[in-house]
Amino acid sequence: MNNSLYRNFYKNFLLVMLLPTSVLTITLLFFNGYVLIQNMANLSSNTGSVLEKELTYYTKQLSGCRNTLISESIPLTISSGMDSYSKFQLIRKLDNFKNILGYCRNIGIIDMQSEKVISSDGEITLSLFFDTADSQFVHKAWESMDTSSLLYPYQATNSTNFLYMTGQKNYPDTFLFFTFDSYHLYHTISDLLKNSNGSVILENHITGELFPLGNPSDENTLKWYKQSVSDFPEFSSFSIQGTTLIGRYSFPAYDLNFYIFIPFSSMYYPLITILAISAGILLFSFCTGLFLVRYMANTNYTPIREIRGLIPQDHLAKEGNELVQINHAIIHMNEKIGDLNTKLNMHRENIRRSILVKLLYQQYSSEQEFLEDARVINIQYLYPFFTICIIKNESRQNIPILYEYFSKKNSANCRYFSLDSLETKQMILIFNSKDNTAPFRITAENLYQDICHTLGKHITLGEHITLGVSEEYQSFSRIPVLYEQAVQALNYSFVTGKDTITFYSDSTSSNTVPAPLPEIDCIRLEKSILDCDDTLLLQLFYDLFEKIQTSGHTLNSIKIHLFSMFSHIRRMLFQLNISDYQIIDNELTAIFMNSETIEELFNLLYAIMLEIGRNLYTVSDKDKIELIQQYIYEHLCNSDFSVNSISAYFHISLTTLSRFYKQKTGQNISTFINDLKIERTKELLVRSNHSIEYIVEEMGYSNTSSFIRKFKSIVGMTPGQYRQIYKDQQEM
């Protein structure tokens, strides 16, 4: 026998059957009560024959009783004449009547003959009722009384027509209205009768008021009582019997201002029917459910056992372990994918560098032509964080020595390689300035010392060695001194330009150096293309053409100088994911390779720039949003990732980016990034066992506490609590 099965049955029975059935029963009872209240209203509005018949019915039931009290609380005072069975039947009917009409809460019966309380519930009211028009009499009586001996005295509100008080056993000789519970009422009446040596007569369903007289022969006292009673017109007469003043009403009892009076017989059968139907539904449901539970328990036919029979526990545990392993494998695979994406990006940059190197190498028809232009090589726009320096040497044996030396140097800022093979006469150095230091800071102070130390004083380099110096490193005060000391034994001279330091051998005169080429404003150039501003683009090209044409440089020198613009435009096209990127890229390469004059070069470049601008102008807003979101997905976990990096990548201002993204998506771009990071964090929390500190670091945050506060403000709980809740749900 499965105890849990029975417990579940009892619980589900309470929820599924007992509760709805109880609600239905209560609803029906309320509906029946509403009908009864309507009947009450109808009966109470009819002060004629209907109420008279009902009073007659109860009068017959109380036959032999000397008096009966009927008021708002419907108390019935029985003095004598009822046998025990009749009293029992009356009490049962009155109790049922009381239970059905909950607000008729005061019902009591007193057997005056046996001096015992037969039934008591609440208070039995011994009070005088007044019409509303005469309610002032109540207040006059109240004001004239001495309340010092009263127990819990209180006056009725102006909306009522009667007055309640609770008295003690020792009462003053004054006009009183009393309200007692059934027990105290009887003893109070008995005490008053004993003290007054008289009797109290209650007749015609009239609540008689007790007027205990101190001295009946005292004319002043009797006059006062007569005057008090004369203010109450409902009394048609009064008389004195012994020491008791008796007042009588002049109208039948059923014309009094009763609230309600409905016999129990009018509601008995509907209520019994409703309760019987509800009990039958509950009993049938309980028996049927209990039978099914017993059958399922005895035959072992339960869903849990069926599942356990189909899937062995050891197999289920094995499957669970495999599922955990699969989740770990997925996490590991995602990490590998991230590493591959990083390597892919690095590979793309290597391809770009190799394209530049090949382009430079192919531009020269002879070695001598390359040597003449070697001094102007300073390409800083291949990639924002890289700069190229080319070392030429006419002696083939020196380049392999230098290459081997620099390859062994473990430098985080510089990568050294030779072009094509170690037998060539040139060496290319690519410096990484990602750490915002001057790319050639290390080289400017140490490169020639390294060369001198490696090659020795008696080995000479080629005609020119040109070093590009980044704009961040503006101070050349130490560089000439260091270089002069380094090259004294090599018989070299040097000239310092804005961006370069060019060294010459003794056979080359520094006076033959051409004027430096003008700088290219790539930012304005990019803006003219993105905005499709033909006027600005034409002005930039015209000014640049005029300056370059009069500079005295060869065509190949100009091509190398313009390659910075070429690289900048290529990077912009690649970042914007232009559909014709490869075609435009090939056209740009062909222009640099095949142009034979400066005029042809500039005309072709101007034409293709216009074409690029028109292609960019036709890109839909949806595509732009997708490009922005794709960049966010790829760089979300980078430590240096921010909205500013997005703005710099797509070459638009931060304000324009934020406004455009908000306008097209309805969401702030910073909110989108935060929500995306939170979702990535949730995945790592539930799919891995890494520590929270590790996950925070993986998401590109440096402050764990700050991230936990941000996570809690968005999710409503800390990362640790979120992981624990997920684990608890999995265990369930």
Give the strand pairing for 414-418 and 426-432: antiparallel
- Region of residue 212 (phi > 0: left; psi between -120 and 50: alpha; otherwise: beta): beta
pLDDT tens digits for 525-573? 777 776 667 777 777 777 887 777 777 676 766 766 676 566 667 666 6
Q: Which residue has the higher pLDDT, 255 or 35?
A: 35
- For residue 227, is pLDDT > 70? no
Residue 675 amino acid letter: D
Within 8 A by CB and 6+ apart from 665, the residues are 625, 672
> Which residue has tokens 């026998």?
1
d(CA 6, CA 72): 51
User: What's the CA dihedral at 370, 373, 378, 382 to 10 degrees?
Assistant: -50
> What pLDDT sits at residue 721?
84
Task: Say which range, 182-186, 306-310, 555-559, has the weakest mean pLDDT.
Answer: 182-186
pLDDT at 648: 75
Q: Which of 647, 651, 672 is nearest to 662 (CA)?
A: 672
Name the residue with higher pLDDT: 512 or 47: 512
Beta bridge partners of 180: 124
> What confidence tier does 654 reach under pLDDT thresholds 50, 70, 90?
confident
Domain residue limits, the chain:
3-45+268-298, 123-255, 363-512
Residue 645 to residue 669: CA distance in whole angstroms? 13
- Residue 52 is predicted with a pLDDT of 42
Which pLDDT tens digit goes with each residue over 29-87?
677 666 655 555 554 444 334 334 444 444 444 333 333 333 333 333 333 344 444 54
Which region among 88-102, 297-311, 313-327, 679-693 has the lowest average model confidence (pLDDT)?
88-102
Using CA atoms, how far residue 651 sits from 562, 606, 646, in Å, is: 20, 20, 8
Cα of first residue to Cα of last residue in the chain, in angstroms, is 24
Question: In which order are the strands placed within the sheet that holds 116-119?
Answer: 76-78, 109-111, 116-119
Using left for φ > 0, alpha for ψ between -120 and 50, and beta otherwise, residue 205 falls in: left
Between CA 216 and CA 225 the distance in angstroms is: 11
- For the cut 70, the answer to whether the pLDDT of residue 213 exceeds it is no
The 10 Å Cβ neighbour count of residue 247 is: 19
The number of residues making up the chain comes to 732
Residue 217 has pLDDT above 60, yes or no: no
Bridge pairing between strands 123-126 and 178-181: antiparallel
Highest mean pLDDT (candidates 132-136, 185-189, 440-444, 672-676): 672-676
Tokens of residue 249, six digits? 């009403």
**Mean local confidence (pLDDT), 498-519:** 46
As a whole number of angstroms, the distance between CA 207 and CA 201 comes to 9
What pLDDT shows up at residue 693?
A: 84
Highest mean pLDDT among 305-314, 444-453, 606-615: 606-615
Q: Is 527 left (phi over 0), alpha (psi -120 to 50) or beta?
A: alpha
Residue 359 host element (H or E): helix 313-362
Query: What CA–CA distance (Å, rounded) separates 548 from 542?
Result: 10
Instruction: Report which of 245, 236, 233 is spatially closest to residue 208, judged by C-alpha positions.
Output: 245
What does the block give as tokens for 564?
């910075």
Judge whether residue 232 has pLDDT over 70.
Answer: no
- Could you tell me if 199 and 244 are in contact, meaning their C-beta atoms sit under 8 angstroms apart? yes
| Residue whose C-alpha is closest to residue 441's, from 400, 421, 413 | 413
The confidence score (pLDDT) of residue 65 equals 33
Q: Residue 138 pLDDT > 50, yes or no?
A: no
The C-alpha atoms of residue 90 and residue 62 are separated, in whole angstroms, by: 9
Structure tokens at 269: 């059968």
Q: What confidence score (pLDDT) does residue 443 get?
A: 35
pLDDT averaged over every residue in the chain: 55
DSSP string, 448-509: HHHHHHHH-TT----SEEEEE--TT----SSHHHHHHHHHGGGTEEEEE-SSEEEEEETTS-
What integer pLDDT is reported at residue 270 of this predicted model?
63
- pLDDT: is 307 or 571 the higher one? 571
- For residue 346, what pLDDT band results from cuts at 50, 70 and 90? low
The confidence score (pLDDT) of residue 378 equals: 33
Pairing of the two strands 76-78 and 109-111 = parallel
Phi, psi angles (nearest 5°) of residue 496: -100, 120
Entry pTM: 0.25
393 vs 554, residue with greater confidence: 554
Q: Which amino acid is at 430?
A: I
Whose CA is closest to 442, among 409, 413, 417?
A: 413
Q: How confident is the model at residue 307 (pLDDT cuts 50, 70, 90)?
A: very low
Q: Which residue has the higher pLDDT, 512 or 529?
A: 529
Mean pLDDT, rounded, for 587-613: 75
- Lowest-pLDDT range of 163-172, 498-507, 547-556: 163-172
Dihedral sign (CA 671, 674, 676, 679): negative
CA-closest candidate to residue 202, choices 62, 72, 63, 79: 79
Query: Please, are residues 429 and 406 in contact by the beta-carbon 8 Å criterion?
Result: yes
pLDDT in tens, 572-587: 666 666 656 667 767 7
CA dihedral 279, 285, 289, 290 (to 10 degrees): 20
SS3 728: helix
Question: How far is the C-alpha of 65 from the C-alpha of 470, rounded, in Å?
Answer: 123
* C-alpha dihedral (19, 22, 28, 31), degrees to nearest 10: -80
The pLDDT score that the predictor gives to residue 645 is 84
Q: What does the pLDDT look like over 656-712, one tens digit per residue?
A: 788 888 888 888 888 888 888 888 888 888 877 888 888 888 777 778 888 888 888
Confidence band of 493 (pLDDT split at 50, 70, 90): very low
Dump pLDDT digits (tens) for 316-345. Answer: 556 666 776 777 778 778 777 877 777 776
Give the span between the Cα atoms of 268 and 435, in whole angstroms. 95
**Most confidently predicted of 6-15, 196-205, 225-234:** 6-15
